[in-house]
Amino acid sequence: MSARKKTTRRKATRKTAPKKAVTKKPAAKAPRKKAAKRAKPAASRKPAAPKKATRKKVAARRKRAARQVFFFGDGRAEGSAEMRETLGGKGANLAEMTRLGVPVPAGFTISTAVCAVYNQAGGRIPEGVKREALAAMGRVERAMGRRFGDVSDPLLVSVRSGARVSMPGMMDTVLNLGLNDETVRGLANAADERFAYDSYRRFIQMYGDVVLEIPHDRFESRLDDLKDDRGVDADTELGAGDWRGLIREYLQIVLDHTGRPFPQDPHEQLWGAVAAVFRSWDTERAIRYRQIEGIPEEWGTAVNVQAMVFGNMGDDCATGVAFTRDPSTGDKNFYGEYLKNAQGEDVVAGIRTPQPINKSSRKDDSIQLPTLEEEMPRAYRELVRIYKRLEKHYRDMQDIEFTIQAGKLWMLQTRNGKRTAAAAVKIAVDMAKERLITRQEAVCRVPAHSLEQLLHPTLDPSAPRDVIATGLPASPGAAVGSIVFSADEAEARARTGERVVLVRIETSPDDIHGMHAAEGILTARGGMTSHAAVVARGMGKCCVAGCGMLRIDYEAGTMMVDGKTYRTGETITLDGGAGLVIRGAVPTVTPELGGAFGELMRWADRLRTVRVRTNADTPGDAQVARDFGAEGIGLCRTEHMFFEPDRVLAVREMILADGVGARQRALEKLLPMQRGDFEGIFEAMAGLPVTVRLLDPPLHEFLPHGDDDLRQVAQALGVATAALRAKVEEVKEFNPMLGHRGCRLGVTFPEIYGMQVRAIMEAACAVEARGTKVRPEIMLPLIAHVGELRVLRTLVEEEIQSVLACNPGSRVDPAIGTMIEVPRAALTADQIAPLADFFSFGTNDLTQTGYALSRDDAGKFLPDYMERGILDEDPFVSIDEEGIGRLMEIGTEGGRSVRPGLKIGICGEHGGDPKSIRFCAALGFDYVSCSPFRVPVARLAAAQAAVERMAGKKGRG
């Protein structure tokens, strides 16, 4: 590159920087400066504070920093909600609830930092930690009025894990700890004999399984034998004598298995359980869960030791779980279930039918079980008072666990509740209206990708299902229909009103009509950006792709999976959100989009700076996208129009033509059809920009495959089959994705692009003449060298001028831009930008060519990469920021260095992925473009990116 060009680039960069600064900085900075000035005197007053007090404070802080065990109970707690990193989620919330004056059984939390120390010390709990824990146990004893190990009325404790983020069911818990052959008698005297011995046998079983690592079924099978002997089905039918006998057997199992008697010393039990919880951080299932959820290894788990309270001591006892708002609808109804005379695990185990806590929790009117409100009104009233307090304090919907022991309510847990996407939207909007949170917070409360759930029908969660295979969740939603193996059959059956699922080894553009007709699409091959996935998302259809377990035989009309054969016409159901193939018909539900959704979207739109366009090729899709809030079309793939059955013959004629004249004659047949397409799209997108990309795929994709197809086409075109076969062979390429496609077609067959530009322009002029504002943009695919753009820009401009000459009053003035979808284009963006009015990053091809990963084949081996921890995510789903993202950064900087303010967008599938949208927003993109059903996702994700950036700036400022 010449030195002169370099200078220009630097100059341009310098020019832009102050420009941006001038608009925002003074207003934003001035108040901060003032604040800093005001802050100074206060800061300078500090040294004047009494020295003794300062020293005391510093000492207290040091003590806190060195502390490894944190007590909570009796209204006082050494921890708080802010200390999640140290105490884990559960410990932090137990401390916080205690501080709020909520009745929480006393306990203490051993910090997450000890987990690493325990592992480094080869599985030993440091003596210092034991000392602190024993001191805390003394405080627990005082708070609860019982002593640990007391033979007359023992304090029992639970020992539970608690990581920074919830890892449900992944780590271990021990309940009823402190029981032994003596203390059980004390408990029997103080409470009830049956209850005491039941608790002891539960404890031996749990401790044996979790701490002593004795297989669970060794205990379970003895319990089953006992029930058989007594001829009963439920544990509740066994008495104290039965439990005593079983305990003897359990103690023997422990001795046989470990060679040592069951530990009778409560302190030995305690250290054993604490160590087991630390060890459970490193079980295979916990490690796997962390890999999937991206939770760092080094976080570790805390251990919560807490006084036991019992919901199974009689009819004035109960245990339950509740949500402060309905977790499936988001309605502001206190919602929950409980069991009388039961332990927490019984609610989860589903042995007995839980009762609703109040009338609004009664989902099924046919079961008229009494409510907690009716059975224990005092405890219920207190629960209501507490849930309101907790929700207000945490400013989010809470999932709470409680136990009532002898009429007294105890809270065992609170955490932000999991919820459906619909509930998340409703709760966020309602809470903003209640002024519990700000609108910005409301926008950030809803996971952007979850909105897709709201727009598609999904499987009825209560319906049973028989899953026969799994593949990639390529396009969400659910589809039920009979199996068909060809696009033509899909179309034919759909015309008669039958619902069909199109099953293909992989799809090609030839299958478009069948995909359109089908309820859903299932493929054996292909990844998240395979043809099937991209087109299905565009159409808003459900798709399961890359389902490698399927053996499809088109000839026989069968698919085999797991040794079973399914034939044409058999009914299957697809769950595109989970990638499931299910035998038979599963009922679906269509979620309703309430007012809350629209409201949240309006708040999001006010916050975001990045515009959201759509990838749409038909007026219908364009309209759907517009209804979802699209602000234009970022990619109209013209080749999809070429595959319509009524025009593919003309396309084939054009490809097979010998010489320019014959080609032009074929193109003339296509011209009016393309013009019609564009008119429809311009009308649907009135007043909004529409980027039309000129022909992109390799030509052989349009040609017939297979003998029958070949014969039919030869007949329709009036040519010999042999001649057609020879032509097909001639067009075939070894590596078509890097072959004669994209702008390379325009260079060698300028008449094709000429026809397309003419169709765009004539359509634009016609629609404009009817009084509708049109804003076409013409985009060239696969540009790698500025020379290609130079030649093609001239061609496009000449065609534009020629149409305008026939429409003298027209104001249509299309921008001419390029896709940046090969690494060379990104690296030479400063050379390309002077000839491009806009850049649109085609990240499907940029990932394919920059990563050297075939977008149609990677689905076969990428799962192994993820399983082996080489990759965290599929680079076709979320932009590989380090590699492909770096190319995007270079391309953006290069382009804007010579053309400040160059409009830049993205139209690859990543344009609908929230994480990639955040990345594009950080690069300063003007817009993202995605399939119609992802438009709301992108609007919300762009708003969240804007809020994050604002918060980041504030943090730095």
Which residues bind to ligand PEP, rule: CB under 6 A? Answer: 635, 637, 696, 821, 842-845, 907-908
Q: 381, 329, 338, 376: which is closest to 356 by C-alpha?
A: 338
CB of 844 to Mg ion, least distance (A): 5
CA distance 887 to 881: 9
Q: Closer CB to ligand PEP, residue 354 or residue 850?
A: 850
Task: Pick left, alpha or beta for residue 371 (phi over 0 → left; psi -120 to 50 → alpha; otherwise beta).
Answer: beta
Token readout for 654 is: 């054009």
- What Å distances lie between residue 857 and 472, 548, 651, 853, CA to CA? 13, 12, 27, 8
CB of 781 to ligand PEP, least distance (A): 7
Q: Closer CB to ligand PEP, residue 91 or residue 912?
A: 912
- Partner touching 908 among Mg ion, ligand PEP, none, CB below 5 to 8 Å by kind: ligand PEP
> What are the φ/ψ torsions at residue 877 (nearest 5 degrees)?
-95, -50
- Partner touching 888 among ligand PEP, Mg ion, none, CB below 5 to 8 Å by kind: none
Q: Which one of 704, 842, 850, 859 is in contact with Mg ion (CB under 5 A)?
A: 842
CB of 904 to ligand PEP, least distance (A): 14
Hey, how many other C-beta atoms are within 10 angstroms of the C-beta on 463? 13
Q: What is the total count of residues that contact Mg ion (CB under 5 A)? A: 3
CB of 286 to ligand PEP, least distance (A): 38
> What are the φ/ψ torsions at residue 662 (nearest 5 degrees)?
-60, -40
For the question of residue 513 being annotated catalytic, the response is: no
Q: 263, 302, 239: which is closest to 79 by C-alpha?
A: 302
CB of 905 to ligand PEP, least distance (A): 11
Q: Which one of 845, 856, 880, 913 is in contact with Mg ion (CB under 5 A)?
A: 845
CB of 821 to Mg ion, least distance (A): 5
Pairing state of beta strands 478-484 and 500-504?
Answer: parallel
Judge whether 454 and 597 are in contact, CB under 8 Å: yes
> What are the φ/ψ torsions at residue 636 (nearest 5 degrees)?
-110, 110
For the question of residue 907 being annotated catalytic, the response is: yes
Judge whether 136 and 69 are in contact, CB under 8 Å: yes
Query: Which of the following is catalytic: 907, 910, 920, 930?
Result: 907
- Partner touching 371 among Mg ion, ligand PEP, none, CB below 5 to 8 Å by kind: none
- Partner touching 803 among ligand PEP, Mg ion, none, CB below 5 to 8 Å by kind: none
Q: Which stretch binds Mg ion (CB under 5 A): 373-381, 423-431, 640-648, 836-844?
A: 836-844
- Partner touching 907 among ligand PEP, Mg ion, none, CB below 5 to 8 Å by kind: ligand PEP
Judge whether 696 and 742 are in contact, CB under 8 Å: yes
- Partner touching 637 among ligand PEP, Mg ion, none, CB below 5 to 8 Å by kind: ligand PEP
CB of 701 to Mg ion, least distance (A): 13
Residue 698 lies near Mg ion (rule: CB under 5 A): no
SS3 622: helix
Q: Which stretch binds Mg ion (CB under 5 A): 32-40, 186-194, 539-547, 838-846?
A: 838-846
Q: Closer CB to ligand PEP, residue 440 or residue 844?
A: 844
Residues numbered 774-833 forming contacts with Mg ion, rule: CB under 5 A: 821
- Partner touching 88 among ligand PEP, Mg ion, none, CB below 5 to 8 Å by kind: none
Query: Which of the following is catalytic: 115, 317, 456, 531?
Result: 531
Hey, how many other C-beta atoms are within 10 angstroms of the C-beta on 66? 9
Q: Closer CB to ligand PEP, residue 337 or residue 845?
A: 845
- Partner touching 843 among ligand PEP, Mg ion, none, CB below 5 to 8 Å by kind: ligand PEP
CA distance 186 to 797: 95
CB of 844 to ligand PEP, least distance (A): 3
Q: Crossing angle, helix 935-956 and helix 595-607, to 10 degrees?
A: 50
Q: Closer CB to ligand PEP, residue 276 or residue 760?
A: 760
Q: Closer CB to ligand PEP, residue 175 or residue 930?
A: 930
> Residue 109: how many CA atoms within 13 Å on its side-chain side?
32
Cα dihedral 95, 101, 107, 109 in deg (nearest 10): 0
Q: Closer CB to ligand PEP, residue 358 or residue 843?
A: 843
- What Å distances lie between residue 385 and 74, 324, 335, 617, 854, CA to CA? 19, 11, 14, 55, 59
Q: Closer CB to ligand PEP, residue 147 or residue 637?
A: 637
- What Å distances lie between residue 801 and 36, 758, 805, 812, CA to CA? 60, 10, 6, 11
Residues at the site binding Mg ion, with contacts judged by CB under 5 A: 821, 842, 845
Which residues are catalytic, by number? 531, 907
